[in-house]
Amino acid sequence: MATTINKITTGLTCNWGIIDSVREIANGITWVTTSSHGGFIVSPARLMQMPENLRACSFTKDDHFEEDCSWCAVPLAFPSLFSANVVENARECYAHSYGR
């Protein structure tokens, strides 16, 4: 049986496959994992709050920000929701991955 968290549930399919785990970071920001990948999925409202340069980090050009590189866009867009360490790691990842 699927567990519902922020309308994203285990057992559903996302861009990376069937969702194995779900962790709500904040309203509209969810971390998911699948057997092969994972990352942040953001709500339409949160996506619209993100600056264009950070929305552009989604390699699928949607609301999915994968765990290897594009994840950094979410903490950079919403730094108050993450620890200082996570935000600093996001800054470094963004600079390395996107050259900015």
Q: Which structural domain range is residue 27 located in?
A: 4-98
| Local confidence pLDDT in tens for the 100 residues of the chain | 333 344 788 888 999 999 999 999 999 999 999 999 999 999 999 999 999 999 999 988 999 999 999 999 999 999 999 999 999 999 999 999 998 6
Radius of gyration of the chain (CA): 13
pTM: 0.90
Q: Are 65 and 71 in contact (CB under 8 A)?
A: yes
What is the number of structural domains in the chain?
A: 1
